[in-house]
Every structure is written in structure tokens, then in C-alpha cells.
Structure 1
């Protein structure tokens, strides 16, 4: 496996060590550590019906396909608790980010601050709240979060990428023609993984 980590400067080191220090903290329900990111999903349909699957044989499909547009998967995971939360949207704008965070805080009514690990995408900041919600609601929502940004070109520091990799192997690497179908498949996988409370054992430390 190879990672492109770009230029390692003082800001890179500061953010990296901040996140690595965060990951070794003991579980605290009042300050849960939650990793968030998003990824595009392309909706692909078959133009020729695939050959029906036969027992003991590899499934086959025609090389031709139809592009049905795209959508965006937003996801978050609490690694120490083994709980993940996902939503699929037709697009990714500040509105979708704000809506996702509104839903996320509902999962942590007891939390004083949600320690949120995320990247520096232009929609991933509190301005999304203020452009989408009334100022008082935006302020209240922002107060629920403590943001920890990953360094530039260091997505490997965000544990949600591990969860996205698992989702990719189970369904995102296949042809899925519609957003509704994608949502139902992701929902089923996420439920199964939540029921099993699959956690992430992080190996990297500051040392």
C-alpha cells in the first residue's frame, strides 16, 4: 500500500500529531471521537442483461454499461464504539453537509462536544451551517463540534476511509444503477456492521 502524503511541513506535523493524540484517548461518551468524510458514487447500469449467476461459477456481466449520473455518500464512524452512520445525497454542497451534521448530533444527545475528524474540503466548515440555517440554529449546531482537520493529502489519517474501503468491497465496486438501490444496499451493510459493533484497531501512534 502506498500513501501520497505530500509536503511534510510544520502544519502537516501539527495536524497529524493532533489526530494521532486524539485516537489514543480512552472512550468518553461526553466527548466521542467521530471520523467523517464523503465520496462520490457513480450510478452504472447494464445495457445488456448479465448472465444469471450459477452456483460455483463467477458472475459475468457485459463490458458495455450505461452511466446514470452520480450521487454522494456521506459517512461517519465512531471507531471505539463500532458505530457508523451514512446518508446518500444526489449532490454534495454545503446544504448536504449541514443536514448530515444535524442528523449526526441527534445520535449523541448526551455529548458535550463531538470531536470530529475531517478534511479541509471547502464545504467542511461551520460556514455551511450559517449559509443553510438561521444564525441561532447554526451557532447551536457549531457548538456541538470540536473540529480536528487532517493534514493536506493525508486522508489515511481519517479512519472513515477504512470504513469506505469495506463498503467498496461489499457493494460500491459493483454496478448499481439507481440511487435508491445504492441507498438500500448501503443501509443493509451498515446495519449489519453496526449490529456486530465492528470497531477499528488503529495502529499508528505519535511515536
Structure 2
């Protein structure tokens, strides 16, 4: 826990950026009948009946101190998917000069450097691994990942509606991210190590003197 919180205390350094990542499923749902939009004197109407069109996965990569995020969308969240999304971040033009990227993620079993070796040739996997420092949140403390509240904002502001095609989800998530990136919307993280020692003292070992 303290490792994650100490990472958040690091000052901004373009050569050593800190990026938080997470992902969430999104159910694809189509309308059976077109909804009726609101008009003066009448509320919007939406039929309760819908059609399931499967699932997709919305990824979140956010650099809190720089006010940047990326929101790719895929069909699955396998080790291969994670590896390819991480490579996209490592090779992004904004990180061309980065010497090492700290990636904060939860303990999902695919969030491991070993996933790079499942997806790429050994030389390429090693090249990417050398650019990464993985920091995992505690097993029952994934809420310490700043990507979680950012995903919540994306859902509430953009994706909390019936969307039947993955392409539409991808388009809306991309436009949302571009708008927030233009504003350089950051994250004002207030939870510190001292707070953890007080509020989560039950997680700390008890040393008998």
C-alpha cells in the first residue's frame, strides 16, 4: 500500500512518468425501438425492452500529473490484449523521451511483465519490460489506483447509456478523452501514507516489543 502512495508523491518528471491503468467491461445493448427525445412539455421516453449484443472492454491509461489519458476499447482483456495496450502507451510519441514508465495497476493475473513474453518475441518483450516499472495496488486495495475514479467519470459522463456497437463505445470514449486532455484535467489525490496508517491500521502488522 505504502509503495503506491509513495509513488503518488513523486514530483512530475517527463523522463519518468507515472501512469495508472485499469479496465472495465461494458455491456453492448441495442434499442428495440428508437427512443423519443424530450420536448417542451414532454419527458424523454425509452422502451424497457432491449437487445444484448455482447461485451467489450474499456481500458483506462491516465497520467494524473500531466492531465493525459487514453481510452482504447477491445473485445477482451487477455494477457495478449494487455501487452498490446501497454506497448501502445510505451511507444506513444509523448513518451518517446521517457527513460522509464511507472505503471500502477491492480493484481489481475494478466497485469504482469510475463504477459509481454506471451504476446511478443523475447527481444521485443525485453525491450518493453526494460521501459516499465510495475507497481501493484494491494490485493484488497484496488481503489488506490487513480485509474478507477477516472473510469467512473468516463462511465457517468459518457458511457452510461445504451450502446450496441463496440465502435460506438470506442468513438465516444476517444472523444471524451480528447476533450479532457485538451483541458489537461488532472486528479487531485488527497489520500496519503499518514492517512493510511490511521484509517487502515488493521492492515498493518502488529509488532510486539
Q: TM-score, normalised by structure 2?
A: 0.88
CA deviation after TM superposition for structure 1 residue 159, in Å: 0.4
Mapped contact 2:79–2:110 kept (Cα < 8 A): yes
- CA–CA distance in 2 between the matches of 1:161 and 1:173? 16
Moved more, 55-64 or 75-84: 55-64
CA deviation after TM superposition for structure 1 residue 152, in Å: 1.0
Match for residue 101 of structure 2? 114
Ranges in structure 1 where 5+ consecutive residues have no aligned partner: 1-15
CA deviation after TM superposition for structure 1 residue 74, in Å: 1.3
Relative to structure 1, is the Cα distance of residues 17 and 181 closer, same or farther in structure 2, using a 3 angstrom cutoff?
same
Match of 2:137 among 150, 158, 168: 150
Match for residue 204 of structure 1? 191
Relative to structure 1, is the Cα distance of residues 52 and 94 closer, same or farther in structure 2, using a 3 angstrom cutoff?
same
Corresponding position: 1:85 with 2:70: yes
Match of 1:189 among 162, 176, 192: 176
- CA–CA distance in 1 between the matches of 2:41 and 2:4? 45
Match for residue 206 of structure 2? none
Relative to structure 1, is the Cα distance of residues 202 and 144 closer, same or farther in structure 2, using a 3 angstrom cutoff?
same
CA deviation after TM superposition for structure 1 residue 190, in Å: 0.6
Relative to structure 1, is the Cα distance of residues 95 and 54 closer, same or farther in structure 2, using a 3 angstrom cutoff?
same
- CA–CA distance in 1 between the matches of 2:175 and 2:116? 30
Corresponding position: 1:133 with 2:133: no
Match for residue 44 of structure 1? 29
Moved more, 49-58 or 121-130: 49-58
> Higher Cα Rg: structure 1 or 2?
2
Relative to structure 1, is the Cα distance of residues 56 and 165 closer, same or farther in structure 2, using a 3 angstrom cutoff?
farther
Ranges in structure 2 where 5+ consecutive residues have no aligned partner: 195-209
Match for residue 180 of structure 1? 167
CA deviation after TM superposition for structure 1 residue 86, in Å: 1.6
CA deviation after TM superposition for structure 1 residue 153, in Å: 2.1
